[in-house]
C-alpha cells in the first residue's frame, strides 16, 4: 500500500503537535553511462519508417462524483465539492504549502502585520488576468473593461469580494465565520434591516484597497490565527461586473469570469462537468502539474464509481465497505490511506422535540459505541472521537481527555431523566443521511446501538438518504420540515480550534442545529481574543467539555476522525491538501501508462 505524503504530515501532527513536516525527496536516479562507440560497419538497408502515431490528446484526469456542484461562487462555497472547484477556478489571497501546511504567497506576494497585530497589509501581484472561457469555441480570452482595457486582478476586486461576504443578502454560511475577524463586518452582516444597510456601515468595513496592488485588512482584535484564514475562498476576489450582469447565473458555463489555473468548459448540472487549463495564467503560477483537463461524471452511488475505477475509467475512487477487504489484498500498490482531519457526527435539531431536551441528546450520544463502529463498520478507517477538534489542531484537547464518549449506563440514566425510561413513550423521529450504502451502514449501526442501549426500537427512527447538496439544503429548513437528526462532517479551514467550536457551533453562525446563545458563546469570544496561547488552550478544553462532557449541551454527537482508504491508480501523482480545496494544478499523470490501461 502506498503511503501518501499527507499521511506522513498528519501523523507527525498527531505525534508532535506541529503542522510542519519536511517532505522527503525521491532519491536521484543515476545517469545511464554512455555505451562505447560501435565499430564502423557497412551500410545496412534502411529500416522502414515507423507508422506515425495519432496525438495522445490532452492529459486528462477522469473522475466521478455522486453529487452536483452546489455552487462555484467563492463567497457561497461551503462544501468540499464546491470548494475544490473554486480552488482551481480562482486564486486566493494566500495559499497552503502542501508539504508543510505553511501559509505561502498566491495573489499576495508579501504582507506585513502591525505591531499590535490588528492591521494586515498585503502586497499583490498585478499580472493575474480575469478571463472568460467560451465553451463552444474552446477559446479563453482576457476580460476588458468598458474602455477596452484588459482586466487584471486588483486589490479592489478583493475588497469587493470580502465586503460582499459581509453582506447578509449574499447568503453565505461562511460570512459568520469571517465576520468576527474583520472590523465592521458583523455590523453589516447582522444589521437589523438587511434591506436598508446604511452605506456608511459598508464603507466602515475594515477592508481597503489602497491601490491596485495594496490591500489593508483591519482586525477588531489581534487574532493569532488570522493569517491562516487568508487562503480561504470566502475572502477571495470576485468579478463585480460579471455578478452585476448575470446575477445568480454568473457562475454558469459561458458566463463565469475566473482568474485561476483552470476555466469552466462544461457544466451539465447533475450529469457532467469539465474544467480545462487556463492558457493565460502567468507561467510561474501554473502549479507544476501536467493535467490539462478534468472530466467528472455524476454517478448514482460510490459502488458505481468503484466499478469505473476497476475498469480503469477513473483515476481515484472511494472503496465500498463490502469490497475493502478484497481490495486491500488485490490492489495494495494502488491504495493510499488519507487522514484528512475531517470529523463526522450526527447532529440534532435542538429546537425540535424530543431533541430540544438535552438529556435526550446526551443519551443518544453516549449510547453510540464509537470504537466498535470504527473497527467494524469503518474497518479501521478512522479514530473514535468524543469531542470535536482532532489532534494537530491548535487548542484541541488530547483525544481521550475530554468528552463522554460511549457510556451505556450514563445513556440510560439520561434518557430516563428526559422522561423516557427504556425509551417508553419516545416519539417517532427522523434521521437524514448522505446517499450511499456506506452511510446506510453507519445509520443502521446507530439504530442497533440505540435499540440495545436505550431500548429504542429501530422502527422509531425514520431513515431518509439524500445527495450531499440536497442534505445541506434540507437541514436549513424550518423545524417542521427539517429532520430531527442528520449525518454531517467538518474538515478544517485553518489549524486552530476556533475553526471548530467557534466557526461551527457559535450561536452567531448560520447554525443548522439552532442552538441558543449562552455562557459557552462568551467563552468562545474570550478564547478567540485571548493573546496567551496557554490560556487559549485551557479555555478550549473547558469549551469542549461544556459541549461534550457529562453536563454537556451536545448540539451533535461526535463519532470519528476519518482516515480513509482510497483507490488510486499508479499513474497518478498527487499530494492531497489538508486545508481548503484540492490543488489539482499540482497533480500529474503518466499519460502513456494511463492510456495503455484504458486500451487507448
Mean pLDDT confidence for 116-144: 97
Looking at residue 438, its pLDDT comes to 84
What are the tens digits of pLDDT across the range 174-207?
999 999 999 999 999 999 999 999 999 999 999 9
Residue 318 domain flag: no
**One domain for residues 385 and 518:** yes
The model's pLDDT over 367-412, given as tens digits with 9 standing for 90+, comes to 999 999 999 999 898 999 999 999 889 999 999 899 999 999 999 9
Residue 114 has pLDDT above 80, yes or no: yes
Calculate Rg over the CA atoms of the chain.
26
Cell (9 digits) for 293: 483537463
533: CATH: 3.10.105.10
Q: Determine, yes or no, domain membership for 81.
A: yes
pLDDT of 333 above 80: yes
At residue 172, does pLDDT exceed 80?
yes
Check residue 4 and give its pLDDT: 47
Q: Which residues pair with 566 in a beta bridge?
A: 318, 336
Binned at pLDDT 50, 70 and 90, residue 125 comes out as very high
Tell me if residue 42 falls in helix, strand or coil.
coil
pLDDT at 495: 87
Contacts within 8 Å (CB) and 24+ apart, 523-530: 524/498, 525/180, 527/395, 527/497, 527/498, 527/502, 528/180, 528/221, 528/223, 528/498, 528/502, 529/221, 529/222, 529/223
What's 225's domain CATH number? Answer: 3.90.76.10
pLDDT tens, residue by residue, 511-532: 789 999 999 999 999 999 898 9
Q: Please state the φ and ψ torsions of residue 556, each to the nearest 5 degrees.
A: -155, 170
Average pLDDT of the chain, as a whole number: 89
153 touches 128 (CB < 8 A): yes
Cis peptide before 579 (omega within 30 of 0): no
3-state DSSP call for residue 27? coil
Same domain? For 124 and 209 the reply is yes
> pLDDT value at position 254?
97
Residue 197 lies in a domain: yes
**CA-closest candidate to residue 521, choices 503, 538, 548, 533:** 503
| CA–CA gap between residue 500 and residue 521 (Å, rounded) | 13
In a domain, 587, yes or no: no
Cβ proximity of 493 and 459 under 8 Å: no
Residue 59 has pLDDT above 70, yes or no: yes
- CA nearest neighbour of 161 among 217, 88, 235, 218: 235
Q: How far apart are CA 501 and CA 527, in angstroms?
A: 10
**Where a domain ends, among 227, 261, 295?**
261
Cα–Cα distance for residue pair 267/254, rounded to 1 Å: 10
- The residue assigned the cell 442545529 is 513
pLDDT band per the 50, 70, 90 thresholds, residue 498: very high
Q: Are strands 140-142 and 131-133 parallel, antiparallel or unpaired?
A: antiparallel
Q: What is the largest CA-CA distance in the chain?
A: 102
Q: pLDDT tens digits for 280-325?
A: 999 999 999 999 999 999 999 889 999 999 999 999 999 998 899 9
Question: Residue 149's pLDDT is what?
Answer: 97
Could you identify the residue written with the cell 473593461? 145
Same domain, 421 and 540: yes
Number of domains in the chain: 2
Amino acid at each position: 500500500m502506498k503511503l501518501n505524503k499527507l499521511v506522513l504530515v498528519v501523523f507527525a501532527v498527531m505525534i508532535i503537535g506541529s503542522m510542519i513536516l519536511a517532505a522527503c525527496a525521491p532519491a536521484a536516479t543515476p545517469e545511464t553511462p554512455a555505451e562505447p562507440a560501435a565499430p564502423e560497419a557497412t551500410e545496412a538497408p534502411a529500416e522502414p519508417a515507423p507508422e506515425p502515431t495519432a496525438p495522445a490528446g490532452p492529459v486528462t484526469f477522469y473522475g466521478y462524483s455522486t453529487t452536483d456542484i452546489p455552487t462555484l461562487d467563492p463567497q457561497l462555497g461551503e462544501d468540499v465539492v464546491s470548494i475544490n472547484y473554486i480552488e482551481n477556478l480562482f486564486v486566493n489571497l494566500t495559499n497552503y504549502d502542501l508539504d508543510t501546511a505553511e501559509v505561502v504567497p498566491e495573489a499576495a506576494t508579501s504582507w506585513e502585520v502591525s505591531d499590535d497585530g490588528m492591521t494586515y497589509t498585503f502586497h499583490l501581484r498585478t499580472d493575474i488576468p480575469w478571463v472568460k472561457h467560451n465553451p463552444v469555441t474552446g477559446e479563453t480570452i482576457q476580460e476588458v473593461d468598458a474602455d477596452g482595457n484588459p482586466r487584471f486582478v486588483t486589490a479592489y476586486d478583493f475588497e469587493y469580494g470580502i465586503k460582499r461576504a459581509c453582506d447578509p443578502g449574499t447568503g453565505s454560511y461562511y460570512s459568520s465565520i469571517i465576520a468576527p475577524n474583520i472590523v465592521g463586518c458583523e455590523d453589516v452582516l447582522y444589521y437589523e434591516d438587511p434591506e436598508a444597510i446604511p452605506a456608511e456601515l459598508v464603507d466602515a468595513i475594515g477592508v481597503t484597497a489602497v491601490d491596485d496592488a495594496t490591500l489593508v485588512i483591519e482586525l477588531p482584535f489581534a487574532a493569532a490565527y488570522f493569517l491562516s484564514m487568508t487562503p480561504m475562498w470566502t475572502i477571495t476576489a470576485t468579478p463585480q461586473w460579471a455578478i452585476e450582469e448575470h446575477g445568480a447565473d454568473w457562475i454558469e458555463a459561458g458566463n463565469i469570469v475566473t482568474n485561476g489555473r483552470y476555466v469552466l468548459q462544461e457544466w451539465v448540472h447533475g450529469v457532467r462537468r469539465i474544467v480545462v487549463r487556463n492558457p493565460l495564467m502567468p507561467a510561474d503560477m501554473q502549479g507544476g502539474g501536467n493535467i490539462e483537463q478534468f472530466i467528472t461524471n455524476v454517478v448514482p452511488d460510490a459502488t458505481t464509481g468503484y466499478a469505473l475505477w476497476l475498469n480503469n475509467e477513473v483515476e481515484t475512487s472511494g472503496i465500498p465497505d463490502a469490497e475493502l477487504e478484497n481490495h486491500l489484498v488485490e490492489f495494495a500498490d494502488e491504495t493510499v490511506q488519507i487522514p484528512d482531519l475531517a470529523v463526522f457526527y450526527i447532529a440534532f435539531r435542538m429546537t425540535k422535540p424530543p431533541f430540544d431536551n438535552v438529556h435526550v441528546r446526551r443519551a443518544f450520544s453516549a449510547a453510540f459505541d464509537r470504537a466498535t463502529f470504527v473497527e467494524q463498520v469503518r474497518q479501521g478507517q478512522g479514530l473514535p472521537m468524543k469531542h470535536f477538534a482532532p489532534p494537530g489542531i491548535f487548542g484541541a484537547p488530547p483525544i481521550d481527555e475530554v468528552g463522554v464518549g460511549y457510556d451505556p449506563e450514563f445513556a440510560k440514566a439520561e434518557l430516563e431523566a428526559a422522561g423516557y425510561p427504556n425509551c417508553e413513550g419516545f416519539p417517532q423521529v427522523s434521521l437524514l443521511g448522505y446517499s450511499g450504502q456506506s452511510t446506510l451502514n453507519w445509520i443502521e449501526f446507530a439504530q442497533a446501538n440505540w435499540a440495545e442501549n436505550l431500548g429504542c426500537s429501530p422502527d422509531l427512527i425514520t431513515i431518509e438518504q439524500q445527495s450531499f447538496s440536497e442534505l445541506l439544503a434540507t437541514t436549513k429548513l424550518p423545524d417542521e420540515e427539517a429532520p430531527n437528526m442528520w449525518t454531517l462532517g467538518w474538515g478544517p479551514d485553518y489549524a486552530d480550534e476556533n475553526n471548530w467550536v467557534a466557526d461551527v457551533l457559535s450561536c452567531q453562525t448560520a447554525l443548522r442545529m439552532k442552538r441558543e446563545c449562552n455562557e459557552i458563546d462568551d467563552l468562545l469570544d474570550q478564547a478567540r481574543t485571548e493573546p496567551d496561547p496557554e490560556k487559549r488552550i485551557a479555555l478550549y478544553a473547558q469549551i469542549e467539555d461544556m459541549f461534550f462532557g457529562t453536563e454537556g449541551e451536545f448540539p451533535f454527537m461526535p463519532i470519528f476522525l476519518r482516515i480513509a482508504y482510497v483507490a488510486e491508480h499508479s499513474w497518478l501523482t498527487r499530494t492531497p491538501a489538508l486545508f481548503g480545496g484540492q490543488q489539482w494544478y499540482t497533480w500529474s499523470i503518466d499519460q502513456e501508462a494511463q492510456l495503455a490501461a484504458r486500451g487507448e
